[in-house]
Structure 1
Amino acid sequence: MTDTLADRPAVTSRSRRSRGAVSETLDILRTVGAGLAAAVAIQTVLFQPFTIPSSSMEPGLVIGDYLVVSKFAYGWSRASLPLNPPLPGGRLFGKTAERGDVVVFRLPRDPQATWIKRIIGLPGDRVQMRGGVVYVNDAALARQPLGLTVDHDQPELAVRRYRETQGAHSYVTYDAFQGGEGDDTGVFVVPEGQYFVMGDNRDNSLDSRWPAETGVGLLPAENIVGRAEIVVASWNPGAGLFKPWTWFDVQPGRFFLPID
C-alpha cells in the first residue's frame, strides 16, 4: 500500500521528533561526559577528597572527617593517579615535603590502601623516640603539656595532650600510655628519597616506628598522593555524604578547619 499525501506530514513530524529526542539525549550524554572528565582531571591533577577511617591522627583529624588533599604540593607520581598504574617511579616536578606536613600516601606493602600521617623526618635525618619524646638529629621537638582530656573516639580513655612544634607547624598530640610500645626506639636514619612519618595519636598509630610488614616503615617519596590541606566537613561514625538520611548527623565545629 502506498502512502497518501495526508499521511506524509504526520510521518515527517514523528521523524523530526525522533531525531530531536536522539539529539537531546546525545547532548545530555556529552555534557555528563564532559563533567565526569573534568572531575577526573581535577582529582588527578589538583585536589582529591579523602575520609578519615581511623583514630591515628587524633585530635587534629578524627573518624568521619572529610578532607581535601593538594595533589600538586610535591609534584606528581603514579601514586597520584587512580589505581596506582604501573608507571616509572619518581615524581614529576617533585618537591621535598616539610617537617610537620600531613600527607596522604599509598601504603608501601599495599598500594591500594591510602593512609595519612605527619612528616617527622626528612632524607638524611636521624629520628628517635625517647620516653615518648621525638628527637630529630639529637634535638627534642619542642612540646608543651596541655593537661589531660578524654580521647575523642574513646571517651572512656583519658589521654595527655601536648602541643608539638616543627618549623611553621604547631599541632596537638595524644599520649595515652607512658612507657607504651613505640615510646622508646632505636635511631632511624632516613635515606634519600624517603620520609619518616608518625601519627599524632602516638600510642594508637602504626607508622614508621614499625617495619613495613606491620606499620609503614620508611615512606618512599613516590608513594605520597598529596598534602592534606583542610577538613571541609565531618560526620559522626556511620553517617556520610552518600547516605542522605544521615546528612545532618554531623560533628559540630569540624567544618572548614585548616590542617596544621
Structure 2
Amino acid sequence: MKHLKQPLNDSPVRLFCVLPTDAMLTVPLLAATVLAASLLLASCSPRTAAQQADSPVQEKKRGYELEFSESFRPGMNSVDALGISIVIVMDTSGSMAERPSSGGKAKYLQASEALQTVAGYLADFSAHAGDMELKAGLLTFSDKVRTVLPLTRLDAAGLAALEAACAPEHFSPRGGTAIGLGLERSSEILAQSGTIFNSVILVTDGENTIAPEPDKVIEAIYANRNNKSTEDMPIRTSTQLVSIIGFDIDSPKFARLHELGARVTKAGSGDELEASLRSLLEADISKLEGN
C-alpha cells in the first residue's frame, strides 16, 4: 500500500495525514484521521479574548492585596452621602524627635502645632458646611499604626475631639517608619466612611522601613485589591485621594508614589507643613463644594 503525506493546513502546528491509495480503505481511514487532526488543532489553537480574561478574583490576586481587619463593614462601601472624609496620618518615628534643617523645635512639636492650626481651619469650614458631611480622623505610625481619633463627624463634639487629638503628647517619637501600614489602615477607614469623597494625607520625615512598601499599597488602593472584595460585593478604594507630605526630606524620594497617582509635596518647617496641609485640604474640600 502506498501512502502520501499531505499537510492539513497552514497552522504553526504542522500536521500531516496519511492517505492510503487503496480505495477500499481510503474513506474510513481518512474520516478518522481528519477527526483526530481537528481535535488536536482545537486543543492547540489560541484562546479567545473572553477565555483569556481573568475573573475579578483572579485579577485581584495579581499584586499586593490590602489587608483589611475582621471588623471591616463591607456594606458601608456602597454608601456615598454628600460629604468628605479626611484621614491625617502623622509620622511619630524616632527621627521626629530631631529638629528640622530649618531649626526651631523638634519636628513632632512643630507638626502638632501645624495640626492644631489646621483643626481651626476645619472648624471654620464645618460652620458653613450646611447639609454636607465633614469627617476627620487622625492616625500616627512608627513601628505600627495607632488611632488617635477615629473617623469622626466634625460637629461641635467632633471638633473638640479633633483639637484634643492634636496635642503634642499624642506624637511622642519612637521606633521605625511604617508608611505602607499607615496608608493601608487609612484606606480601610475610608473604604467604609459613607461619604462620596475620601482623602488620606500622610506626613513623614523619612523613608519606609517596615513592610508593606508604600508603592505596593498605593497600587492596591487604585486597583481595588483588598482581602474583602468578592465577585458579588467588590470593595472599591480607587477613588480615594492619596497625598504625601515630606517633612524635612526631599520629595524626589517619593517620585515613584507620584507616578502612581499620589500627590506629593514637601515642607521644610512647621509653617510650611501647616501651609501644605491647608492647601491639600482646601483642594479636597473644593471638590465637595463643586457638587
Greater strand content = 1
Greater helix content = 2
- The TM-score with structure 2 as length reference comes to 0.31
- The TM-score with structure 1 as length reference comes to 0.34
